[in-house]
C-alpha cells in the first residue's frame, strides 16, 4: 500500500472494513456463535456497545471547535480525510446519569466513531476502552449487566442515539 495514492489507500481500507463487518455479521448470525460487545468507559461509568454499531477506535485527534453549538458537542475531527463530529457523551448523558463534568482527555482517552452504516459521521470520547466483553456471561441487574468481577455495564445503542432528536440538534 506504500505506493498507492491516498484515495486508493482509503478505498482499500474501506473495502477491508466492509469485508470485516461482513465477517462479523456472519459470525453473529451463525449457529452457536457468541456475540461480543465493546466495553467503554464514559463519565466514570461502563457501557457496552454493539460491535456492528461501533466504527473505528482512534487516539483523540486535534479538534476544531464549532461556534454556537451545545456544550457537549466538542467540534470536528479529521479521521483519514473525513470530517467527524465529536461528542462528549459524559456531558450529553449527564442530566440522565447525574454526571456534572465532561470528559477529560488523557492518555487512555479514545475517539470511538459510529459505524458507517448508521449514516452519522460522528464519534464520542471514551475515557477508556475495555475491549471485547460477552454480555451472555453477565448477570442482568436493574437494567444493567454485572460481570464476574462485579462491574456494572449499561448497554448503549448507538443506532438509537443516532436517531435521538436531542442528540441530532447540536446547534444552540
Is residue 119 within 8 Å of 84, Cβ to Cβ?
no
Cα dihedral sign for 111, 155, 95, 68?
Answer: positive
Is residue 155 within 8 Å of 145, Cβ to Cβ?
yes
pLDDT, residue 23, reads: 59
Which run of H or E residues covers position 160?
helix 158-161
CA distance 159 to 172: 23
CA distance 48 to 145: 9
Q: Is the model's pLDDT at 114 over the cut of 70?
A: yes
- pTM as predicted: 0.76
pLDDT, residue 6, reads: 76
Give per-residue pLDDT as tens, 47-98: 999 999 999 999 999 999 999 999 999 999 999 999 999 999 999 988 655 4
Q: What are 108's strand-pairing partners?
A: none
pLDDT, residue 8, reads: 74
* Cell 473525513 sits on residue: 82
CA distance 157 to 51: 10
The end-to-end CA distance of the chain, in Å, is 43
Cell of 94: 449527564
pLDDT, residue 31, reads: 44
Q: Is the model's pLDDT at 123 over the cut of 80?
A: yes
Amino acid at each position: 500500500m506504500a505506493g498507492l495514492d491516498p484515495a486508493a489507500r482509503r478505498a482499500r481500507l474501506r473495502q477491508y472494513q466492509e469485508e470485516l463487518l461482513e465477517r462479523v455479521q456472519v459470525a453473529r448470525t451463525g449457529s452457536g456463535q457468541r456475540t461480543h460487545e465493546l466495553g467503554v468507559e464514559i463519565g466514570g461509568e461502563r457501557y457496552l456497545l454493539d460491535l456492528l454499531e461501533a466504527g473505528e477506535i482512534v487516539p483523540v485527534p486535534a479538534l476544531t471547535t464549532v461556534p454556537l453549538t451545545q456544550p457537549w458537542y466538542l467540534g470536528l475531527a479529521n479521521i483519514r480525510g473525513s470530517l467527524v463530529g465529536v461528542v462528549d457523551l459524559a456531558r450529553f448523558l449527564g442530566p440522565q446519569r447525574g454526571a456534572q463534568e465532561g470528559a477529560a482527555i488523557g492518555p487512555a482517552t479514545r475517539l470511538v466513531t459510529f459505524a458507517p452504516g448508521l449514516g452519522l459521521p460522528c464519534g464520542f470520547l471514551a475515557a477508556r476502552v475495555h475491549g471485547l466483553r460477552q454480555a451472555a456471561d453477565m448477570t442482568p441487574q436493574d437494567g444493567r449487566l454485572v460481570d464476574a468481577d462485579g462491574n456494572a455495564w449499561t448497554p448503549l445503542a448507538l443506532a438509537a442515539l443516532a436517531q435521538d432528536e436531542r442528540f441530532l440538534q447540536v446547534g444552540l
